[in-house]
């Protein structure tokens, strides 16, 4: 069977579309319908519009307007008051100054004033109407015709006249070219005379020399070669498209070009408009895009930030990494049916690690958007973007590009611990995703503790109620995962496969890591068998956050108290070293994995929120009966509630915490297994 050419393929599609119209009873004698004026059928106009769509995709220059790139393509706009309605192209320069090109598109055109030459007469008439509109920008906008077939001599003559008009600073200079002894040939004079006669018809009276000069200075004639054998315009468009595609999909450029032609023809029947965001959304299912050149810096910056945030999440148990592939597979499965997936679990169960693994998998494809509670700055998306060095491009436009060049998923780690002042950042992003029809394929993945859903509903309830939400529960390590860990860390086997009470603690990866570090630091000591998280806290604190003794342990404890006090008052900000009474133990705490550098030599942060909670637990203990004053001084943030609810009987009791008038603190207590319960 002989190969079917691109034009034949598009033609077959057009015939089917036309047949569908006829079946629906649409009369071909309805001249007012843009569907018929533009023609869902096989038209040269669709190819011309698609050529400009290719330039729009590439953010490229295109014929008709110099020194500006295409930002919008509209088709069949007569119903919106546009005289030259076939294709209207908006251009923009680096300073965002607009220019508009309005074109009538003809497969074939004859330049003459003959009464039978309706096409050229209509083009001059509608160009004059466009020229006289109040919003027409003199010396900026252009109008005219795009043609396929035209007599070369007449084409050359009309283009020369228009070029002379643009090059003439005054009307007198322009007219001198056509005066006796001027440089204009007889053919040029004849073409100019035809245009003047048609302008008189359009205006209804003679035009002044100034009007003729200015009209011609803004007129353009563009010839496109689409349909004949060896046509040059389609390959030019495909080459532009290829430069917009990822290398692995570069061979799909002809397919994308065919899609652009179909989009142009279908939209002509609906007076459609395309900006780059809509075009990208329509094309991205066919091929992966590189991302807009104008946003390349932002896309690279997002990838840099994402890698940085992901690397802040420890994902090993002293060198041993557990794949937890089944959880990643479950996450992928839930994303196919839900717009929001909540990754939930107890403290230390590995929620953030799962987010890190999912983020890193997505990064292999391209950019994504990853936000982390501790890294937020600003009170809106705009202020956050500015603080991170992004360009300030419209959020919707940025997300469209991220989705086309990478993965359309918003990841938010520890969303339940985002302080109120930073919540508008998340709200701006989620609102944009939910409300934009261009972002319908976007999904949202958030991690939170089991108890965090109540806090989350206070500020995201509207979205949680409106969207389909799935929950992925992160439980303790399975027997298989525990066996893998026990083979590498045999000293943990008695704990990983001990009593149910011990397993409840040790099979949370973070706690297993703490116990492993305790063993490595002092392998000759008796095996520590924690019965609850409180036992772990006490053991951790006794060694100064590791396994120190004597004065070193005391100094580390004092530094941890200092760090926790500062952090509790500025939960989303790094801890500046200048805020501490002593920095002697800071580097040791960093080497032991309790702290991370935020800005080397300037600030640090806790490597895990549990370290902060455990240290703040002892800040409350240090205040004795005044522990409630410490909570109030911090502003009673939800992030300190777990520390207060962990408080053991002693100088201050759980009962007193339970009597607190603060609803944020009368939340939950820890049972002896370290599990939160109402």
Question: Taking the CA atoms of the chain, what radius of gyration do you get in angstroms?
Answer: 35
- Other CB atoms within a 10 A radius of the CB of residue 634 amount to 18
Q: Is the pLDDT of residue 674 over 60?
A: no
Q: Bigger pLDDT: 72 or 467?
A: 72
In tens, the pLDDT along 312-327 reads: 898 998 889 998 899 9
Determine the pLDDT at residue 86: 86
Q: Per-residue pLDDT averaged across 229-237, rounded?
A: 89
**% the chain with pLDDT above 70:** 87
Q: Per-residue pLDDT averaged across 587-612, rounded?
A: 89
Look up the CATH superfamily of 298-474: P-loop containing nucleotide triphosphate hydrolases (3.40.50.300)
In tens, the pLDDT along 393-411 reads: 999 999 999 999 999 999 9
Q: Per-residue pLDDT averaged across 242-266, rounded?
A: 93
Residue in 156, 40, 143 with CA at minimum distance from that of residue 85: 143
Determine the pLDDT at residue 10: 44
Determine the pLDDT at residue 525: 77
Q: Per-residue pLDDT averaged across 609-620, rounded?
A: 88
pLDDT category of residue 569 using cuts at 50, 70 and 90: confident
**Lowest mean pLDDT, pick from 187-191, 304-308, 523-527, 532-536:** 523-527
**Lowest mean pLDDT, pick from 15-24, 131-140, 378-387, 462-471:** 15-24
**Four-point Cα dihedral 538, 542, 545, 546, nearest 10:** -110
Determine the pLDDT at residue 80: 65
Q: Is the pLDDT of residue 534 over 50?
A: yes
Determine the pLDDT at residue 437: 93
The two three-digit tokens of residue 148, written as one number: 């396929």
Helix H or strand E encompassing 248: none
Determine the pLDDT at residue 18: 39
Q: Is the pLDDT of residue 52 over 70?
A: yes
The two three-digit tokens of residue 346, written as one number: 């107890």
**Lowest mean pLDDT, pick from 50-59, 161-170, 509-518:** 509-518
Helix H or strand E encompassing 612: helix 609-622
Residue 53 contacts residue 264 (beta carbons within 8 Å): yes
Using CA atoms, how far apart are residues 574 and 570, in angstroms rounded to an integer?
A: 8
Residue 126 contacts residue 83 (beta carbons within 8 Å): yes
Q: Is the pLDDT of residue 63 over 50?
A: yes
pLDDT category of residue 465 using cuts at 50, 70 and 90: confident
Q: Per-residue pLDDT averaged across 261-272, rounded?
A: 87
Q: What is the mean pLDDT of the chain?
A: 85
Using CA atoms, how far apart are residues 502 and 24, in angstroms rounded to an integer?
A: 71
Residue 322 contacts residue 424 (beta carbons within 8 Å): no
Beta strands in 21-97 (DSSP E): 61-62, 65-75, 87-92
pLDDT category of residue 81 using cuts at 50, 70 and 90: low
The two three-digit tokens of residue 80, written as one number: 């919106």
Determine the pLDDT at residue 543: 87
Q: Is the pLDDT of residue 472 over 90?
A: yes
Determine the pLDDT at residue 460: 86
Using CA atoms, how far apart are residues 224 and 144, in angstroms rounded to an integer?
A: 13
In tens, the pLDDT along 492-506 reads: 999 899 888 888 889
Three-state DSSP class for 337?
Answer: coil
pLDDT category of residue 641 using cuts at 50, 70 and 90: low
Determine the pLDDT at residue 43: 76
Q: Bigger pLDDT: 572 or 377?
A: 377
Q: Bigger pLDDT: 567 or 33?
A: 567
Q: Is the pLDDT of residue 368 over 50?
A: yes
Residue 288 contacts residue 405 (beta carbons within 8 Å): yes
Determine the pLDDT at residue 15: 40
Domain edges within the chain = 6-283, 298-474, 479-531, 550-677
Backbone angles phi, psi at 672, to 5 degrees: -70, -10
Helix H or strand E encompassing 375: none
Q: Per-residue pLDDT averaged across 635-651, rounded?
A: 55
Q: Per-residue pLDDT averaged across 100-114, rounded?
A: 93
Give CA separation, 169 vs 66, 176, 185, 591, in Å. 18, 12, 21, 74
pLDDT category of residue 599 using cuts at 50, 70 and 90: confident
Phi-psi region at 391: left, alpha or beta (left = phi > 0; alpha = psi -120 to 50)? alpha
pLDDT category of residue 639 using cuts at 50, 70 and 90: low
Backbone angles phi, psi at 42, to 5 degrees: -75, 100
Which position has the token pair 């086997």? 493
Residue in 676, 515, 528, 545 with CA at minimum distance from that of residue 615: 545
Full DSSP string of 462-503: HHHHHS-EEEEEE-SPPHHHHHHHHHHSGGGHHHHTS-HHHH
Q: Per-residue pLDDT averaged across 332-340, rounded?
A: 95
Question: How large is the greatest C-alpha to C-alpha distance in the chain, in angstroms?
Answer: 113
- Could you tell me which residues come within 8 angstroms of residue 587 by beta carbon, excluding any fewer than 6 positions away? none
**Four-point Cα dihedral 578, 582, 583, 584, nearest 10:** 160
- Could you tell me which residues come within 8 angstroms of residue 122 by beta carbon, excluding any fewer than 6 positions away? 104
Q: Is the pLDDT of residue 646 over 70?
A: no
Helices (H) and strands (E) in the chain, counts: 29, 17
For residue 430, count CB atoms less than 10 angstroms from its CB and return exposed for 0-12, middle for 13-18, buried for 19 or more: buried
Determine the pLDDT at residue 636: 64
pLDDT category of residue 298 using cuts at 50, 70 and 90: very high
Our measurement of the distance from residue 655's CA atom to the centroid of its chain's CA atoms, rounded to an integer in Å, reads 48
Determine the pLDDT at residue 90: 96
Task: Give the global pTM.
Answer: 0.76
Determine the pLDDT at residue 643: 57
Determine the pLDDT at residue 158: 96
Using CA atoms, how far apart are residues 88 and 100, in angstroms rounded to an integer?
A: 7
Determine the pLDDT at residue 104: 92
């Amino acid at each position: 069977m002989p190969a079917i050419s691109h034009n034949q393929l598009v033609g077959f599609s057009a015939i089917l579309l036309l047949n569908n119209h006829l079946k629906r009873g649409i009369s071909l004698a309805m001249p007012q319908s843009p569907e018929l004026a533009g023609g869902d059928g096989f038209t040269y106009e669709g190819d011309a519009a698609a050529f400009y769509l290719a330039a729009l995709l590439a953010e490229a220059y295109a014929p008709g307007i110099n020194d500006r790139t295409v930002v919008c393509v509209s088709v069949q706009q007569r119903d919106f008051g546009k005289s030259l309605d076939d294709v209207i192209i908006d251009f923009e320069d680096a300073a965002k100054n607009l220019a508009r090109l309005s074109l009538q598109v003809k497969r074939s055109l004859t330049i003459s004033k003959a009464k039978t030459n309706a096409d050229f007469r209509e083009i001059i008439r509608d160009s004059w109407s466009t020229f006289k509109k109040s919003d027409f920008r003199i010396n900026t906008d252009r109008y005219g015709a795009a043609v396929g077939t035209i007599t070369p001599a007449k084409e050359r003559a009309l283009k020369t006249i228009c070029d002379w008009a643009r090059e003439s600073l005054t009307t007198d200079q322009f007219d001198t070219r056509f005066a006796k002894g001027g440089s204009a040939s007889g053919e040029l004079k004849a073409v100019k005379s035809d245009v003047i006669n048609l302008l008189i018809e359009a205006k209804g009276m003679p035009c002044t020399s100034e009007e003729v000069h200015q009209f011609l200075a803004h007129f353009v004639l563009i010839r496109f070669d689409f349909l004949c054998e060896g046509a040059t315009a389609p390959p030019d468009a495909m080459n532009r498209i290829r430069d917009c595609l990822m290398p692995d999909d570069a061979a799909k450029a002809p397919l994308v070009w065919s899609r652009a032609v179909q989009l142009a023809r279908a939209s002509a029947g609906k007076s459609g408009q395309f900006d780059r965001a809509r075009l990208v959304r329509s094309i991205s299912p066919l091929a992966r895009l590189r991302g807009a050149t104008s946003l390349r810096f932002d896309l690279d910056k997002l990838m840099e930030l994402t890698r940085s945030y992901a690397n802040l999440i420890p994902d090993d148990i002293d060198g041993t990494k557990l794949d937890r592939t089944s959880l990643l597979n479950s996450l992928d499965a839930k994303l196919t049916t839900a717009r929001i997936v909540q990754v939930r679990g107890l403290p230390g169960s590995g929620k953030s690690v799962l987010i890190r693994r999912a983020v890193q998998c997505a990064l292999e494809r391209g950019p994504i958007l990853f936000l982390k509670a501790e890294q937020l700055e600003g009170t809106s998306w705009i202020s956050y973007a500015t603080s991170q060095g992004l360009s300030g491009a419209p959020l919707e436009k940025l997300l469209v590009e991220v989705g086309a060049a990478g993965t359309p998923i918003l990841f938010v780690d520890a969303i339940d611990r985002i302080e109120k002042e930073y919540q508008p950042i998340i709200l701006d992003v989620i609102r944009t995703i939910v409300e934009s029809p261009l972002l319908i394929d976007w999904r949202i993945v958030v991690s939170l503790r089991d108890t965090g859903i109540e806090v989350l509903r206070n500020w995201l309830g509207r979205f949680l109620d409106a969207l389909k939400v799935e929950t992925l529960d992160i439980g303790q390590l399975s027997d298989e995962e525990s066996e893998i860990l026990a083979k590498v860390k045999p000293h943990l086997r008695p704990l990983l496969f001990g009593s149910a009470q011990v397993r409840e603690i040790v099979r949370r990866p973070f706690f297993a890591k703490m116990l492993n570090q305790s063993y490595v630091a002092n392998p000759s000591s008796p095996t520590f068998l924690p019965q609850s998280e409180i036992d772990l806290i006490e053991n951790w604190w006794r060694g100064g956050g590791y396994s120190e003794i004597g004065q070193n342990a005391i100094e580390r404890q004092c530094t941890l108290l200092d760090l926790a006090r500062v952090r509790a008052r500025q939960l989303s900000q790094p801890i500046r070293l200048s805020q501490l009474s002593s920095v002697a133990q800071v580097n040791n705490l960093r080497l032991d994995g309790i702290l991370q550098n935020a800005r080397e030599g300037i600030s640090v942060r806790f490597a895990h929120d549990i370290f902060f909670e455990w240290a703040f637990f002892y800040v409350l203990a240090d205040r004795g009966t005044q522990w409630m004053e410490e909570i109030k001084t911090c502003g009673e943030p939800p992030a300190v509630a777990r520390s207060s609810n962990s408080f053991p009987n002693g100088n201050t009791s759980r009962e007193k915490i339970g009597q607190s008038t603060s609803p944020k603190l009368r939340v939950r207590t820890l049972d002896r297994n370290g599990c939160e319960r109402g």
